[in-house]
Structure 1
């Protein structure tokens, strides 16, 4: 159920489950001990987890900066915004849910951290076949992605790894997607006054595939790796004269696009290109010859 900013009160926002909220922002706990969930701080860069949420109290505390509180307190710091702006940000992105209370005798430590075991060039036939099904050519995939072997909860997996600016990875395989810590945006800077913005790396790879036969423009790129990182990406984006948005066509993506357009005339919404599809890759996998011709004429 979605709530408009007019009906989303401060008390309702405070009642949102902090664990679920951080997960929606792309942050997962490093370990869980009783009711305490420990994270690498979303508010700063660190190597040892010192950000804690007590799920019984539904409160957080960052030992590195000596601050804590409820979801409102966290959101204001994380987005550097006012309460009204935070409530607008929450609008349509989360469901209202009371915090889950765990039994006091739950003393098991759960390690959720993904450990990268091997980082090699992308060669697995099953992973390359998955990308080819998404219409991403092998040579483009190999240019931007790695093949990762990793462990999670004592099990071993492998997947396509796309590195972010803090050396964490977005990870995909044909069956599921995950990420390794720390989670962050990915930027490619080529000295251009124009930047293209994508939610995920599959959309970015799709764009590179779509333009592989066109003249190289030397554009800059930012891949958010989670639309919730939009605010964090703004300093990089707004250092450019033109910001072209290729965000998803779902409610959240359209909401962020609309907000961006209200910030500055630098922002341009490019999602009309795939207006009848969920995202750029979905369109790319299904578009016809006339649409392709229109795209090439527009981007030459």
Structure 2
């Protein structure tokens, strides 16, 4: 991706992805509360035909690239890398405005039951143990109905995954699970009230959080899922009151940057990514462990067969020898 391509992505799509919605809008412009800090009156304007932004409270503005740089406090190169890893729609001309109504709808939400989703979860190393934390979501995008494993965030948005689809619907946000045995997410305000002085484990994606639940037997603490590294600033406010912070982030550049930011704010945070240093993330570690266990089980079965086989042959030979001896004795 280059700057021209990044600037062709609608600012409104990027803002929605980051969890910011307009306070008022018309065909030509959309107004937002500043994405860069708290304010009571919207001073951030998006020029829809030009796909440009301007923040009146600071006198700053620019393109989509400029916005991402400022929002993530990063360089042009890192902004391009970040955008390349996100699930933005196909590039469109800068003069094209976004549709006033979303081109999707959620049809139904239910407990996990579809065989394809159960198989998908199994292949990711996830069992019924994690079912209370997820849902089966049926949705329609541009008249095409899909279904996926859904993970709810604090703004009632959904992270969606299946074998062929990876995306999100509605507002983007973090997910806070207070004491992970309780399979429920709560609003951000309630999250801040409940975030106490105990333990919290931090993950980038929900499959990593589910992998942690799958692997753990005695952890007593809260789980915080970013759902995107772009949500890190929101997560920092929740982490502020914890005495024990355990990081289970990805072993890639984005995960390392996220880890460095958290440890800079909270020096007592502990990085556990070394436990799965040979893998991209915790879920990849879990699936590899599951395959290795299955391989060991097969090898054990083969070994047992090999050990038992000579004994069985010896027993058969003894039986045949005794039968022949008895026959000879009768003749004599």
TM beyond 0.5: yes
Of 248, 264, 269, the residue aligned with 2:266 is 264
Contact 2:158–2:169 (Cα < 8 Å) also in 1:
yes
Over the aligned positions, Cα root-mean-square deviation in angstroms equals 4.3
Q: SS in structure 2 opposite 1:94?
A: helix
Of 131, 134, 143, the residue aligned with 2:132 is 143
Change (3 A) 1:41 1:185: farther
Deviations 1:128-165 (A, max 9, x none): 1100000100231x210111111111221111111001
CA distance in 2 between counterparts of 1:269 and 1:37 reads: 44
Structure 2 counterpart of 1:235: 237
Q: Matches of residues 23-34 of structure 1 in structure 2 within 5 Å?
A: 23=14, 26-27=17-18
Larger RCO (CA within 8 A; separation ≥ 6): 1
Deviations 1:249-284 (A, max 9, x none): 111111221232222212211111111111110111
Structure exhibiting the larger radius of gyration computed from Cα positions: 2
Q: SS in structure 1 opposite 2:220?
A: coil
Q: SS in structure 2 opposite 1:87?
A: coil
Contact 1:206–1:284 (Cα < 8 Å) also in 2:
yes
CA distance in 1 between counterparts of 2:270 and 2:108 reads: 39
TM-score normalised by the chain length of structure 2: 0.64
CA distance in 1 between counterparts of 2:16 and 2:284 reads: 23
Equivalent residue pairs, number = 259
TM-score normalised by the chain length of structure 1: 0.70
Q: Which consecutive unaligned segments of at least 5 residues does structure 2 have?
A: 22-26, 84-90, 180-195, 294-332
Higher helix share: 2
Q: Matches of residues 51-90 of structure 1 in structure 2 within 5 Å?
A: 53-54=46-47, 57-60=50-53, 69-70=61-62, 74=67, 78=71, 86-87=73-74
Change (3 A) 1:55 1:195: same
Of 88, 106, 120, the residue aligned with 1:130 is 120
CA offset at residue 112 of structure 1?
4.3
Contact 1:92–1:251 (Cα < 8 Å) also in 2:
no
Q: Matches of residues 180-259 of structure 1 in structure 2 within 5 Å?
A: 180-190=169-179, 193-211=198-216, 214-215=217-218, 217-259=219-261
